[in-house]
Amino acid sequence: MNEQELITQGKHYLLDTYSQVPVVFATGKGCYLTDVEGKQYLDFVGGIAVNALGYGDAGLSLALKKVLDSGLLHCSNLYYNEYAIKAAKALTELAGMDRVFFCNSGAEANEAALKLARKFGHRSSPIRTDIVTMVHSFHGRTYGAITATGQDKYHANFDPLPTGFSYALFNDLESVKATVTDATCAILVEPIQGEGGIIPAEKTFLEGLRALCDEKDMLLIFDEVQCGMGRSGKPFAFQTYGVQPDILTLAKALAGGVPAGATVTKGKANNVFTPGDHASTFGGNALAMAGACEMLSRLKDTDLCAHVEEMGIYLRGKLDELVSKYPSLCTVARGKGLMNGLVLTVPPRKVVDACFERGLLVLAAGYDVLRFVPPLTVGKVDIDKAIAIVDSSLATLA
Ligand code: PLP
């Protein structure tokens, strides 16, 4: 079947939940994807911040192959597997936290955090069940996670939604203070908002949330599903702020591309769940955990994070140049590490499409942001190439 025939079948058989770009990918190497007709694309989407090691990473492939060859693709969480234990130890040590629940996605990692927070609240009072989240946040597509998501467009047509969620303004501590009540058990926030438009939190905001949670005995939950696992230039984005959460949620790059999620706890969040409270058939599965062990050792034992920091500064410098060159199209570049956004005055989709035509994958974030979340292994040559394509795409719109 050729590419067009495959796309026709895809449109027929797959439920219409995505606005899919008309391409079918077949192979990947480094920062490049190749479609079934042999056309190559430079990938600055990276599976939306998933493929941190790029495509075809030898170390990751070897780690996964070892599990496949052992035959232990999966065993129930009724039993232990050594990969999950090793990943839990490596993850908690790297995050300076204590314990972890493994699942398969970001939404699930947040569901576990929401349930844990409510059980934590119940311990002091049956009415302490409310969770404060931020406007423009994104936490996933399951019912708890979409309700936690502070964007109406994700709620429309899916009511009734679970109750007990309130929304405060991001980077506005007074707004959070005004939203918190005696019924609040937790605050959930992304240290760098992703889907909302690549908006880093201010340090004083996260410090203020930490102090507020300590004062009122609430749990501080950081959703690092998108901004975690080295993307910020440190293993976890909260480490760039020096503010430690009680619960950290992860997914996306956690296992380098194999589906995996984690809800990591510290201190007062450690012993809230007891057997029977929560579970996942596939969570902590040997294949995914071998991927997580490889990712975590790359963050801890190699210079990957330093590389991200250096490439992030380089990329942001190039984006700043585009802002200067096209002031009527681009207003500002912002981000941390290799999670960056270019704020546009035109719909991002126009630039995304123009870049696609020229062999570059980029994507939108929020209503007006062009997002760059390439593999963390990206180098200057590919950054220059990507910027040249964005430049020529903007030129057609200027
Ligand atoms: N939280 C954040 C910050 C995200 O960016 C996402 C996905 O984009 C999610 C949660 C949901 O993750 P998943 O799609 O793996 O459920």
Residue-wise DSSP of 183-244: TEEEEEE-SEESTTTSEEPPHHHHHHHHHHHHHHT-EEEEE-TTTTTTTTSSSSTHHHHT--
**pLDDT tens-digit profile of 182-232?**
999 999 999 999 999 999 999 999 999 999 999 999 999 999 999 999 999
Average pLDDT, stretch 89-109? 98
Query: Where do you find CATH 3.40.640.10 in the chain?
Result: 59-300
What percent of the chain shows pLDDT beyond 70?
100
Query: Where do you find CATH 3.90.1150.10 in the chain?
Result: 3-57+302-397
**3-57+302-397 has CATH 3.90.1150.10 classification:** yes
Average pLDDT, stretch 314-342? 98
Q: How many helices (H) and strands (E) does the chain have?
A: 13, 17
Domain 59-300 -> CATH class: alpha beta
CB of 312 within 6 A of ligand 1: the answer is no
Average pLDDT, stretch 313-320? 98
What percent of the chain shows pLDDT beyond 90?
99
Average pLDDT, stretch 91-104? 98
Token pair 């950081």 in the structure block, residue: 222
Average pLDDT, stretch 92-111? 98
The pLDDT of residue 386 is above 90? yes
DSSP 90-129: HHHHHHT--EEEEESSHHHHHHHHHHHHHHHHHHH-TT--
The pLDDT of residue 398 is above 90? no
Average pLDDT, stretch 99-111? 98
Residue 43 Cα to ligand 1 midpoint, Å, equals 19
CB of 223 within 6 A of ligand 1: the answer is yes
| Residue whose CB lies within 8 A of the most ligand 1 atoms, among 154, 226, 282, for a mutation test | 226
Residue nearest to atom 5 of ligand 1 (CA): 226
CB of 315 within 6 A of ligand 1: the answer is no
**pLDDT tens-digit profile of 269-281?**
999 999 999 999 9
Average pLDDT, stretch 248-261? 98
- What pLDDT does residue 266 have? 98
Compute the distance between CA of residue 37 and CA of residue 3 in angstroms, rounded to an integer: 7
Residue 283 Cα to ligand 1 midpoint, Å, equals 16
Instruction: Say if CB 361 and CB 43 are below 8 A apart.
Output: yes
- What pLDDT does residue 284 have? 97
pTM above 0.85, yes or no: yes
Average pLDDT, stretch 167-175? 98
**pLDDT tens-digit profile of 28-85?**
999 999 999 999 999 999 999 999 999 999 999 999 999 999 999 899 999 999 999 9
State which ligand 1 atom lies nearest to the alpha carbon of 194. 5
Instruction: Say if CB 48 and CB 252 are below 8 A apart.
Output: yes
CB of 139 within 6 A of ligand 1: the answer is yes
Compute the distance between CA of residue 297 and CA of residue 281 in angstroms, rounded to an integer: 26
DSSP 260-322: -EEEEE-GGGTTS--TTS---SSTT-HHHHHHHHHHHHHHHHSSHHHHHHHHHHHHHHHHHHH
